[in-house]
Amino acid sequence: MKCLLMTPVQRKGFVLGVSKFAYSMKRMPPLGLLYVSASLEQIGCNTDIIDLRHTYYNDDELIRIIKEKKYDVVGMYTDTSLKDTVIHYTGLIKKSTNLPVMIGGPGTLHPEEYLKGGADYVVFGEGEITAKEIIENLQGKLDIGSIKGIGFLRDGKMAVNPKRELIENIDTLPFPDYKKIDISGYHDFFFINMRKPYATMMTSRGCPFRCAYCTSHVIWTRKVRQMSVERVMKEIDFLVKEYNIKLIDFLDDIFGLKKDWIYDFCNELIKRKYDLKWCVILHPWSFKGYREDIFKLMKKAGCVTTKLGIQSANPKILKNVNRNPEDLEGAKDIIRLSKKHGMFIVTEMIFGLPEDTRATVNENLDFAFKTNPHYALFFEYQHLEGSELFLRYPNRDFTEIPNDEVKQLVKKANEKFYLRLSKIFELFIYALTHRPMWIFQVLKNSRFVLNLIGLRKGQ
Ligand code: B12
Ligand code: SF4
């Protein structure tokens, strides 16, 4: 069996400035497909990956490739923002080749539209085992009714099989199948510490928190499964030795949730003396009680960037989205410590949360000015299916600020935060002292700066 795995790129309508241009500045390896690919290879299914964000083919070219390579099945990644695009590609592939199509990723909560669009299998949650079983079904070895975690059409009607259990021990996962992509074509130049070749990793699956706007649990649930440090080190050794990786962006919802684990991880990495830097996503609660000490160790082990979701500076709004108002103190501490240890700190806030007013949005901006992370990212709220807020407010009628105005407020916040001589100077000095190459890369493409500060939209 030969399987093509594909990541589509939005054809029309760009989400939050994720334009074609932004894709050229920020292209992350398709980690989910790399896992699915490695897993399929284990049962002798040969896979290729086409990441349209990396190499764009128009519809005719894509179909020509699919026919020439004689694939037996196509698998596609989807998230909510990609739904229409994925349905387009499904229709195109079915019409031109009639190959079976399977769709997986965080956007499969409501499978009916994909199935109506021609998909044969819609996969919920973790894809490694389900994808294998789909191949076995296509080979006639397994009945479709026994594949857990899929939706499909039976006699024209949607059927949903029972849920698939989580992979209990994620140490058993194969290494992501990096040989299927051109690793040199991936980067994230939004971050000043970018070094190439770069890879992404996930050392845990699941997040114990219940933020009301978030949908991470749809794939991973709220149970945290942590890879052992030993397994993580094996993957890092592999990435460094095989691909000469210089930067790893850890995509765990929250990195290093357990105290012993994060100490062991840093110590093991220090022992290896690799020329390797890394970035992590933290939570305002992360490392409470031992922050000073662990930041010192993380720095020594090569951590260069920390990312932190703050979401709102208003305690009432935080409470309403199931976050702890004490988060604000934790956030201040993490920003301070990241800066103290020379790490690049990126914070995120969402405008347009329930009960947000123009005044609370201003509080967010004030918080960003006072704490002064290197980047303060302001996002427009996304009403995502699967989130608690989607259930609580199906009509999204929870803020006095109209959507268009939220967009404007995001744009204005970006202008106010970044278009300051002191900020430009701070970022310039940081780049000069930490990663001078980055300045050349940015200057080569002035559109990047305009995009970053929100003065330029679209392609
Ligand atoms: C890194 C990241 C990004 C990166 C790039 C993502 C990428 N695809 O490369 C960037 C920053 C660009 C990004 C952008 C966005 N993201 Co994002 N992102 C993430 C993050 C943090 C990690 C993704 C990842 O690599 N996970 C690791 C891999 C292993 O998991 P996976 O991709 O889900 O794959 C597994 C399964 O889903 C499944 N699977 C996946 N594909 C396939 C395909 C087949 C055929 C099969 C069978 C199975 C299968 O099997 C895989 C292995 O188990 C997740 C949060 C998270 N913890 O997952 C959010 C997340 C995926 N993003 C999310 C969102 C909302 C967005 C944006 C819409 C945000 C915005 N408003 O701009 C955009 C959309 C971009 C676009 N598509 O155009 C949501 C998705 C929710 C939803 N219902 O769609 C998530 C879950 C965050 C959240 N907490 O809500 N994102
Ligand atoms: S937003 Fe982050 S901390 Fe909150 S539930 Fe989602 S992944 Fe967890």
* Inside any domain, residue 210: yes
Which spans in 247-380 are helix H? 259-272, 291-300, 315-320, 327-340, 358-371
pLDDT-derived band of residue 211, with 50, 70 and 90 as boundaries?
A: very high
Do 148 and 186 sit in the same domain of this protein? Answer: no
Q: What residue numbers bound the domain in which 113 lies? A: 2-160
Q: Which of 160, 192, 212 is the C-terminal boundary of a domain?
A: 160
Taking the CA of residue 253 as reference, the ligand 1 atom at the shortest distance is 57
36-93 per-position pLDDT tens digit: 999 999 999 999 999 998 888 889 999 999 999 999 999 999 998 899 999 999 999 9
Residue at 457 is within a domain: no
Q: Which of 79-88, 179-188, 242-251 has the highest mean pLDDT?
A: 242-251
Nearest to 277 by CA among 240, 225, 223: 240
Q: List helix spans (H) across 311-379.
A: 315-320, 327-340, 358-371
359's tokens:
């005044």
Q: For position 39, what pLDDT does the model report?
A: 98
Give me the pLDDT at residue 439, please: 82
Within this chain, do residues 132 and 275 fall inside the same structural domain, yes or no?
no
Residues in contact with ligand 1 by the CB-under-6-Å rule are 10, 15-16, 18, 28, 30-33, 35-36, 75-77, 79-82, 102, 104-107, 123, 126-128, 130-131, 202, 214-216, 219, 251, 253, 382, 384, 386
In a shared domain, residues 418 and 305:
yes
Ligand nearest to the CA of 216: 1
* Nearest one of 272, 224, 219, 212 to 248, comparing CA atoms: 272
CB atoms within 10 A of CB 111: 22
Q: Do residues 154 and 188 share a domain?
A: no
The SS3 assignment for 435 reads coil
Same domain, 108 and 34: yes
Query: Do residues 235 and 175 touch, judged by C-beta distance below 8 A?
Result: yes
CA angle 440, 250, 424 (to 5 degrees): 35
Give the pTM: 0.94
In a domain, 176, yes or no: no
Please count the residues of the chain. 459
Are residue 73 and residue 140 in the same domain, yes or no? yes
What pLDDT shows up at residue 457? Answer: 47
153 and 186 belong to one structural domain: no
> Which numbered ligand comes closest to the C-alpha of 308?
2
Residue 167 lies in a domain: no
Q: Please identify which residue in the block is written with the tokens 């764009």.
A: 56
Tell how far the Cα of 106 is from the centroid of ligand 1, in angstroms: 6
The whole-number pLDDT of residue 449 equals: 59
The CATH number of the domain holding residue 341 is 3.80.30.20
> In this structure, what DSSP letter does residue 413 have?
H
Same domain, 104 and 213: no
The rounded distance, in Å, linking the Cα atoms of 321 and 318 is 5
- Which residue ranges have their beta carbon within 6 Å of ligand 2? 207, 209-211, 214, 216, 253-254, 283, 309
> What is the count of structural domains for the chain?
2
Closest ligand 2 atom to residue 213 Cα is: 1
Residue 349 near residue 378 (C-beta atoms within 8 A): yes
Distance of CA 172 to the CA centre of its chain: 22
Let me know how many helices (H) and strands (E) the chain has, helices first.
Answer: 18, 17
- Could you read off the pLDDT of 356-410 as tens digits, one per residue? 999 999 999 999 999 999 999 999 999 998 999 999 999 888 989 999 999 999 9
Question: Is the confidence at residue 27, as pLDDT, over 90?
Answer: no
Q: Are residues 200 and 120 in the same domain?
A: no
Q: What DSSP designation does 275 have?
A: S
Same domain, 134 and 224: no
Residue 17: its pLDDT value, please? 39
Longest dimension (CA), the chain: 65
Give the CATH number, domain containing residue 48. Answer: 3.40.50.280
Q: Which of 99, 125, 160 is the last residue of a domain?
A: 160
**118 shares its domain with 209:** no
Residue 127 Cα, ligand 1 centroid: separation in angstroms?
13
Q: How far apart are CA 449 and CA 446, in angstroms?
A: 6
